[in-house]
Every structure is written in structure tokens, then in C-alpha cells.
Amino acid sequence: MALIVLGINHKSAPVEVREQLAFNVKELREAADQVFSHMSGIDEKVILSTCNRVEIYAHVNDIDDGLASLKRFLYRYNEIPEGTLEKYFYQYTLDAAVQHLFEVSASLDSMVVGEPQILGQVKSAYDSARSVRATGKVLNQLFEKAFSVAKKIRTETAIAEKAVSISYAAVEMATRIFGNLEGRVVLLIGAGEMIELAGKHLVSHGVKTILVSNRNYDRAARLATELGGSAVKYDEFQNQLVNADIVISSTGAPHYVIKKEAVEQAARHRAGNPIFFIDIAVPRDIEPSANDLQNVFLYDIDDLHSVVNDNLAEREKEAEKAREIIRAEVNSFVSWLDRLEVEPTIIAIRKKAEEIKTRELQKTFAKLKLDANQKQTVEAMASSIINKILHDPTLHLKNQTSHEPEHHQRSIAEFMKDLFNLE
């Protein structure tokens, strides 16, 4: 028996290939049923499908047969000619399979290291597999361990603490200027994805007063409602500059939508209170010379990219700490798995010894006239002899699995079966 992983991800395949193999939530359950209905040699299986990866984790009788079966399944289920996607697949077995799942769950294998969404997606995939009884003792233990490892990494490292999106970096820079953002007034100009994300980050940092302005007033109103703010007509937003502590703009306009003169006029009426502009538009929305004004802080998208790059470097340092945690946890899980693999042999040896003891005691008691106490004493002595004889072989079987390659583990287990004449 062995653990295997077969998959594709954002590093091995373009999006058009990943789309061909992607599963929705309903299909995950159907697929799990199909694998077990039509394939032998696969004891347990979990399918993980996200926008960046499709992976199958399985506990199989034979590694090569298992990987071949999973490939056939992916081709046939998705009605793709067999062999056409071979160059995009990757595969992991044994210890490497365990390590891969731990790294995926901890977001070390993500497009953005440290992003939090992947752990929820792994949990959802596991729940789907369990709902159709596609998992068992091994994968249940593996995935539960993966979740605890991911939690440990979040607790013991700062891998998720640095902003690595432009929108979040904008909020991080605002906190550098103002410290606590509670009580600050924010003006958002535009209503696209980056503005929406920035607005949500600001709300999570305690901002209560958000104004949203966009050429399409209905879009501005919808976003303002989502953020618990107010919409401002596009031709009136410049009147709000005087009230805004933070202005974030991303309109897609081909010219400056905020000129230096408008900023200067607003700043003059703010009694020395700073005003913070973040221009995440390309072409830029805010005239760059506005940054020369007193108590005005203007950052553009290049400034934010610099923050993101610095934070990515910091995350990579934390990722190395996370990998050290994973290496130790992989060794721990593999030791458990190895002991699990030899348990049937240990149980069979002890069962045979107990059967021999019972037969021999029956023969002995038939020949000797012993009372109940004497029989109990003889039986206890026989049990003690068996325990002492089996103690060293049992320890050897359990302990050698932590230090030997898998083929050697199997050879020792097979040797013990032959040695004790086990069927």
C-alpha cells in the first residue's frame, strides 16, 4: 500500500488545460463514486479542484497501477483523448506525497505564498470525499494532520501577515501614515475589482465612513451599499476631497481626474490635517505634482509594487520556517503510516502464537491433574514466555520502518511472514 498524488497546477499547466480537468462541487462527489465503482486497487481518494490546481490524492495497492488508473479516469471522465495532457501532469509518491499536501494546505505551493483561501478549499475537497465514503483510515489521518500543520504554521510564522496584493498594500501604506484607521473618512473613485478589494480591506481595518464615486452611479451605489458607505455623483466627488483623509482612485480614464489645483484647494481647508492619495490607475488618475504639496502624500502603483515585492521577500523568509515545520511533521506522519503498514503482520504473528499456546495448554492440561489455580499459573507462564519471545521482533518491525526505504520495509514484513509461516 502507498500514498500517491497526481495533478496539474498553475506552474505545470496553462489555464486552458486546467479548465479541461476542473471539477465543481457536485462533480467532486460524482467523480469519487466513479473512481471506486470502476477501479480496483484504489482504497481511498480525495479530489482537490481549484482555479489553480486539480489533484487526486489516493491510497493504492500499487504505485504504478494507481497512477495509471487515475490518469485514465481523468481522461475518460472529462472526455479527453488519453495521453494528450501527459506533459502537464506531475506526481508524488510516499513521503513526497505527504509533503506536497502539507505544502498545499499551508499555502506554500500557491500562486501567492501565504494566501488563506487554499486551506478552506482543501477542507471542502476532503469533506466532499468523506461524504461519499471515499476516504478511510489513512487519508482521514493525512488530511486532519495537514489541517493541523497549516494551523501550526499560521500560528508560529508570519507567512500571512504581509500585504501581497496591490489593494491590500494600499491599505497597509495608509496605516503607515495614520496608524489607526478608525474614524478616518475614505473616498473611493472608481468601482472596479481593485477598488472593491481596497474598500473591503479598509472596512476590516475599522473604517466606518466610505464614499464611493464612479461614472456609472448605479455601480457606485451598489459598492457603497456593500461597504456600508454612501455614493457620490461623479461630477461632485471633487467637493468631497476636503473631507477625505484617504483617497484611492482607479478609474481607467485617459487623463488626470484629480489635478494639483483641486488637491491644493482641499488641503488648504483641512487645517493641517494630512490627506493621503493612492493612485492605482494606469494611466494615472492623480497629477503627480500634487505630491509636492504640504501635508499631501501621494503614492502610485509603482510605489505599491515596491511594497508588495518587499513583502513577498518577507513571506519567503517565513516560508522557509514553515518548510522546517513541515519536514518534521512529514517524518512524524510517515512513521505513523509505516507502523500502520506492519500492524497486520504483527497482529498475525501474535494471533498464531496465541493459537499455538492455547493448543499446547489444552494438551498439557489433559495430561496433568491441575487445579484451577495451578492452571492459571501455567497459563500465565505461557503468556509471559510468548510476550518475551515476541517483544524484540515486534519492536524491530515497528522501529525499522522509520529508517528503511519502503521496498526494504516490505521485504522485512514479507520475511517475517515467511519466518512464522503466516498465510
Q: Cα-flanking dihedrals φ and ψ of residue 54, to 5°?
A: -130, 120
Tens digit of pLDDT for each residue in 388-402? Answer: 888 877 777 666 554
Mean pLDDT along residues 329-335? 90
The pLDDT of residue 292 is 96
Tens digit of pLDDT for each residue in 86-132? Answer: 999 999 999 999 999 999 999 999 877 887 789 999 999 999 999 88
The closest alpha carbon to 238, from 172, 177, 290, 168, belongs to 290
Which DSSP string corresponds to 243-255?
Answer: G-SEEEE----SS
Residue 413 appears among annotated catalytic residues: no
Mean pLDDT along residues 134-151? 95
Tens digit of pLDDT for each residue in 209-225? Answer: 999 999 999 999 999 99
Which amino acid type is present at position 325?
I
Which helix (H) or strand (E) segment is 10 a member of? none
In total, the chain counts a number of residues equal to 423
Place of cell 467532486: 28
Which amino acid type is present at position 88?
Y
Q: What is the pTM of this model?
A: 0.65
Q: What three-state secondary structure class fits 214?
A: strand
Q: Looking at the predicted structure, is the pLDDT value of residue 72 above 60?
A: yes
What are the cell numbers at 80?
A: 479527453
Residue 177 · residue 297 · CB < 8 Å: yes
What are the cell numbers at 19?
A: 479548465
Interacting residues of 144 by C-beta distance below 8 A, sequence separation 6+: none
Q: Which of 183-197, 241-255, 407-421 comes out lowest in average pLDDT?
A: 407-421
What are the cell numbers at 418?
A: 515467511
Q: What three-state secondary structure class fits 162?
A: coil
The closest alpha carbon to 331, from 14, 175, 102, 131, belongs to 102
Q: Cα-flanking dihedrals φ and ψ of residue 82, to 5°?
A: -60, 135
Which amino acid type is present at position 236?
E
Tens digit of pLDDT for each residue in 345-374? Answer: 777 788 888 888 899 899 998 888 889 999
User: For the chain, which domains are there?
Assistant: 2-161 (3.30.460.30), 166-309 (3.40.50.720), 335-419 (no CATH)
Residue 213 is given by DSSP the state: E
Q: Looking at the predicted structure, is the pLDDT value of residue 387 above 90?
A: no
Q: Looking at the predicted structure, is the pLDDT value of residue 407 above 80?
A: no
Q: Which of 15, 25, 51, 158 is catalytic?
A: 51
Q: Cα-flanking dihedrals φ and ψ of residue 214, to 5°?
A: -155, 155
Q: To the nearest 10°, report the CA torsion of 363, 369, 375, 381.
A: -70
How many angstroms separate the CA atoms of 195 and 396, rounded? Answer: 62
Residue-averaged pLDDT of the chain:
87
Task: Count the Cβ atoms, other than its own, within 10 Å of residue 84.
Answer: 11
- Percent of the chain whose predicted confidence (pLDDT) is above 70: 90
The pLDDT of residue 416 is 66
The pLDDT of residue 400 is 59
Q: CA angle 279-285-290, nearest 5°?
A: 75
Cα 359 to chain centroid, rounded:
55
How far is CA 111 from each of CA 9, 50, 53, 104, 118, rounded to the nearest angstrom? 9, 12, 10, 11, 10
